Amino acid sequence: MRITVLYDNNVVREKLHPAHGFSVLVENKKFSLLFDTGWSGPILLENARTLGKDLKQVRFIFLSHQHWDHIGGLPDVLKEIQREVIFIVPRSFTKGFKRELSHYGEVMEADSSVFEFAPGFFSTGEMDSDIGIKEQALFIKGKKDVLIVGCSHPDVYRMINLVGKVDILMGGFHGFERIELLGDVVGERIFPCHCTVKKDEILDMYTEKSQKCGAGLEVEI
Ligand SMILES: [Fe+2]
Ligand SMILES: [Fe+2]
């Protein structure tokens, strides 16, 4: 399995565009999954092209929460894919948005419990947050247990605890302050991406375990 950051506030490879937002491509032998779509479709598609990623292979689109920097690229992505996909979205997304998605494929709605939508691929279920927006995270159980988060508005520590300890944590941790808690619940690698406020502090505290995130980051599992 390969996990590639397509869109992030930073880049870790040349010729890619940094932009506020987040998107990750997960490829395994059977299918590809797109986690969030960044804010700008053209930037997402161009970064994907530069990285040699064909989004036409995407079978699942997993949307963490209804913020523009995570779903804005969706219309361009759907135009690129040109065939039906399976969406995994929080149940709390607006009815109009879910109806629109249903024109492009099946819509699976995450309620408040963990569920498996493909072998080894789980939604944590949607969780409440203090900004009134619900959010789900992607949990992949395989050789390594991986948790990919969008902005972690519900608190990244709470989100990890829904699935127990993980080997790899990647995504936006937003304003999460208690970074000393991460060491016990993340076994191998922490990638603080996108909106994480304490990026530098995490990289300093976990010199062995953490790694700079940005568009172009590839993790082979
Ligand atoms: Fe965000
Ligand atoms: Fe957000």
CA of residue 213 to ligand 1 center, whole Å: 14
CA of residue 132 to ligand 2 center, whole Å: 11
CA of residue 84 to ligand 2 center, whole Å: 26
d(CA 204, CA 208): 9
Both tokens of 2, joined, read 């390969």
Share of the chain above pLDDT 90, in %: 100
Nearest ligand atom owner, CA of 135:
2
* Domain encompassing residue 37: 2-220
CA of residue 192 to ligand 1 center, whole Å: 13
Query: What sign results for the dihedral spanned by CA atoms 31, 75, 112, 86?
Result: negative
Global pTM?
0.98
d(CA 202, CA 87): 32
- What pLDDT, in 10s, does the model give residues 197-220? 999 999 999 999 999 999 999 999
- What pLDDT, in 10s, does the model give residues 19-43? 999 999 999 999 999 999 999 999 9
CA of residue 150 to ligand 2 center, whole Å: 7
**What domain count does the chain have?**
1
CA of residue 129 to ligand 2 center, whole Å: 11
**Residue labelled with tokens 């569920």:** 115
**Residue labelled with tokens 């995490």:** 202
Question: Where are any strands of DSSP class E within 81-176?
Answer: 85-90, 105-110, 115-118, 121-123, 138-141, 145-149, 166-172
CA of residue 104 to ligand 2 center, whole Å: 24
CA of residue 5 to ligand 1 center, whole Å: 14
CA of residue 173 to ligand 2 center, whole Å: 10
Element (H, E) at 45: helix 41-50
Element (H, E) at 60: strand 58-62
Predicted local confidence at residue 148, as pLDDT:
98
Nearest ligand atom owner, CA of 38:
1
**Residue labelled with tokens 């930073």:** 10
Provide CB contacts within 8 A for 205, sequence distance 6+: 179, 180, 183
- What pLDDT, in 10s, does the model give residues 1-16? 999 999 999 999 999 9
Report helix, strand or coil for 101.
helix
Query: What mean pLDDT is predicted for residues 167-190?
Result: 98
Torsion angle in degrees (nearest 10) through CA of 49, 52, 56, 58? -110
CA of residue 33 to ligand 1 center, whole Å: 19
CA of residue 204 to ligand 1 center, whole Å: 23
CATH code, domain carrying 81:
3.60.15.10
